[in-house]
């Protein structure tokens, strides 16, 4: 008798969209917190020689999460039907 592997099947489109948006909100909070630490205590981050570069990388990650969250809202969320595309 063979055992079948249980696959995750999302219950619906809106659940996946909601989960992705929650993920991106968490990522934004993470990168915002990192920037705050760099700005408030730059000498406390010993392994980062170039604080400006480190902040810039965090801002890039924050912007990426923001953009993805906005794209989900504008183009895929049924609750926010839009006229785009």
Express each pLDDT in 9-57 by its tens digit: 556 888 899 999 999 999 999 999 999 999 998 776 666 678 889 999 9
Sign, Cα dihedral of 54, 58, 63, 64 = positive
Residues 20 and 13: their CA atoms lie apart, in Å, by 11
User: Are the C-beta atoms of residues 54 and 61 closer than 8 Å to each other?
Assistant: no
Domain count, the chain: 1
User: Are the C-beta atoms of residues 71 and 21 closer than 8 Å to each other?
Assistant: no
> Domain for residue 83, yes or no?
no
> Domain for residue 23, yes or no?
yes
> Domain for residue 84, yes or no?
no
> Domain for residue 69, yes or no?
yes
How many angstroms from the chain centroid is the CA of residue 1? 43
> Domain for residue 61, yes or no?
yes
> Domain for residue 46, yes or no?
yes
> Domain for residue 5, yes or no?
no
Determine the pLDDT at residue 78: 74
Stated pTM of the model: 0.75
Rg of the chain over all Cα atoms, to the nearest angstrom = 19
Determine the pLDDT at residue 14: 86
The encoded tokens of residue 72 equal 């989900």
The phi and psi torsions of 68 (rounded to 5 degrees) equal -65, -40
Q: Which domain holds residue 51?
A: 13-78
């Amino acid at each position: 008798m063979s055992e079948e592997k249980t696959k995750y099947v999302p219950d619906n489109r809106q659940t996946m969209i909601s989960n992705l948006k929650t993920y991106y909100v968490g990522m934004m909070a993470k990168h915002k917190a990192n920037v705050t630490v760099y700005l408030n205590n730059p000498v406390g981050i010993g392994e980062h020689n170039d604080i400006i570069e480190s902040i810039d990388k965090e801002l890039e990650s924050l912007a990426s999460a923001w953009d993805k969250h906005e794209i989900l809202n504008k183009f895929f969320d049924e609750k926010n039907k839009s006229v785009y595309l």
